[in-house]
Amino acid sequence: FSRHLLSPPDFVSARAGAMAKRAVLVKFHDGLSREDKWKSIGHKGITLWMTGLSGSGKSTISVALEHALVTKQPRPYFVYRLDGDNLRFGLNRDLGFSPEDRKENVRRVAEVSRLFAEAGAIVIAGLISPYAADRAYAREVHANASLPFLEVFVDAPLATVESRDPKGLYKKARQGMMKDFTGIDAPYDIPEAAEVHVRTDLNSVTQSVNIIMQHLDQAGIHLPRRFRQLDENEAPTCTAP
């Protein structure tokens, strides 16, 4: 048994053929417009991409931000939180921690985030996402769909996150019990142009949440609301007393 390997031009041609076949077999079905969905909830969809080392505070701040937006405002916001650890029990349970699997992890979460943002959700996606190229891909997915996207760098020095070590992972990595652990023997590309930068060693959880909400305000996701005018047949008729 021998396997025939396609040359690069042949591979491109084969991929183009597969894409053309998919276009014939699959039809995109339009529904309610994005604008109508956003108007119904009063704000645009947006993705907050929370990146940082394990133990930096991504999950803690994400949960606190979710509560702040849903339960602490005069009117609740439509929020959906995508936690990197939680997703590995379902959507990403078939993925490990190799560079290839990390890339696929980010790709899947980016696409799901886009779908929720399309529906008008404030998406809080919290995952390490150590590679700058993968985070750039997540941003591009939203840019191509004309959806707002904020990269949030949840930052703390390595010594601080190691001292926190809520899962005991840094200790295992230092002892050689875990390989390819981000920050120890696997790289983390520090964001160079994140829209939001919170230092969790210098700011409390509440302060960090408030910093993020200030940037949300500046992102202009609120839509002005107006009273719906009545039709003539909806209004009661005046009768003489």
pLDDT in tens, 116-131: 999 999 999 999 999 9
Residue 228: its pLDDT value, please? 57
Of 46-55, 137-146, 178-187, the poorest mean pLDDT is in 178-187
Tell me the pLDDT tens digit for each residue of 92-115: 999 998 899 999 999 999 999 999
25-34, 175-184, 209-218: least confident range: 25-34
CB atoms within 10 A of CB 184: 19
> Residue 178 — very low, low, confident or very high, per pLDDT cuts 50/70/90?
confident
Please, how many CA atoms are within 13 Å of residue 111, restricted to the half-sphere of its CB? 7
Q: Between these two residues, 206 and 238, which has the higher pLDDT value?
A: 206
Quickly state the pLDDT bin for 6 (edges 50, 70, 90): very low
CA dihedral 88, 94, 100, 106 (to 10 degrees): -40
Q: Using alpha carbons only, what angle is made at residue 29 by residues 26 and 34, rounded to the nearest 5 degrees?
A: 135
- pLDDT of residue 165 exceeding 50, the answer is yes
Is 129 a residue of the active site? yes
Per-residue pLDDT of 31-75, as tens digits, reads: 788 888 898 888 999 999 999 999 999 999 999 999 999 999 988
Torsion of CA 173, 178, 179, 180, to 10 degrees: -70
This prediction's pTM: 0.81
Distances in whole angstroms, Cα of residue 67 to Cα of each of 128, 167, 209, 211: 22, 23, 10, 15
Residue 149: pLDDT band (50, 70, 90) is very high
- Report pLDDT for 34: 86
User: What is the percentage of the chain residues whose pLDDT exceeds 90?
Assistant: 63
129 phi and psi, to 5 degrees?
A: 40, 70
| Catalytic hit among 54, 59, 113, 129 | 129
Q: Residue type for 145, please?
A: A
Residues in the chain: 241
Closest CA to 170 of 181, 160, 180: 181
In the structure encoding, which two tokens stand for residue 122, read together?
Answer: 């404030």
CA distances from 183 to 17, 34, 85, 162, 169 (A): 42, 39, 17, 10, 11
Alpha-carbon torsion 55, 61, 62, 67, what sign?
positive
Give phi and psi for 144, each to the nearest 5.
Answer: -65, -25
